[in-house]
Amino acid sequence: MSKESVENIEPKVEAMSTIVPKDAPKLSVKPIYERQALDRILSPLEDLAERSEHLLRASAAKNGAPQTPIPRYLYLGERGGGDVFRLGIFATIHGDEPEGVLAMNRFVTLLERDPEIARGFALFLYPICNPTGFEDGTRQARGGKDLNREFWRQSGEPEVRFLESEIYLHAFDGLVTLHSDNTSNGVYGYVNGSVLSENLLEPALRASEKFLPRDRRPVIDGFPAKEGIIYRSYAGVLRSLPGLERPPFELTFETPQRAPLYLQVEAAAAGLRTILQEYRQLRAFAQNI
């Protein structure tokens, strides 16, 4: 994908004129004409869902869902002859990190070109987990909370409650979250859950290094790191239900936000593709032991 083609789908603020009375109260969020358009950045996924044999647009959320619905898609790979692996992929939990949804657009395009990558997988895609923050261009949701500090803490935030219900309901074999970091100059990631996590993140980082360098600092985002892998994380981050006897693998993949956008998109898409390939191989190996 060229830089120009990625930038064409990057949300841009449309200029519109308006008349605001001098005594009008200040708004706590951006006026609607200044907000970034959800439908524009999701248009590649919407277009693919219209014609793809594999990508489905999930039904609208109902009870307990956030006022601005969280878009959901399901990508069903060809049957692989064994178990179906259920993976949840989440992006833009921070509204000022649109790189994740663009990477998901690119990733699904790659799956359409090479369906073998997703053979045996059911991919539950949540490209914009914080739609109001995305519209407003803010890290927090419109309610003022950083959603990525609210999970499994009896949060009242509707976005968190909805995503928690999805994670609980679908009992994912793995969760992957996409982020971008404006304090880093390279790709890195967090691991939690299953011991498989590290064995998946390392090859994903290697694949992404074709496009961007790896962050190899000994301390990243305030945590000790080894070769770009962090083994701790903040309380309340998006993850599986704590305390499971057999937890899924959990990865957070970070790109350097100050790097060129098209390189971040390609790096994250390459990482996702590698995670699928490596997971299928590791599961096949484990079954043959």
pLDDT of residue 14: 34
Residue (of 7, 165, 171) closest to 84 by Cα position: 171
pLDDT of residue 17: 30
Tokens of 80: 């692989």
Residue (of 246, 248, 268, 249) closest to 257 by Cα position: 268
Question: Residue 264 and residue 245: Cα distance in Å, rounded?
Answer: 35
Domains along the sequence of the chain with CATH: 42-288 (3.40.630.10)
Tokens of 93: 């939990």
pLDDT below 70 — which residues of the chain?
Answer: 1-35, 59-66, 286-289
Residue (of 152, 129, 128, 156) closest to 143 by Cα position: 156
| Longest CA span, the chain | 74
pTM (2 d.p.): 0.86
Per-residue b or e along 44-82, where b marks 16 or more CB atoms closer than 10 Å to that residue's CB: bbeebbeebebbeeeeebeeeebebebbbbbbebeebee
Residue (of 109, 115, 119, 124) closest to 75 by Cα position: 124
Stated length of the chain: 289
Tokens of 184: 């880093």
Q: How far is CA 130 from CA 6, 157, 165, in A?
A: 21, 11, 15
Question: Residue 172 and residue 204: Cα distance in Å, rounded?
Answer: 19
Question: Residue 29 and residue 43: Cα distance in Å, rounded?
Answer: 24
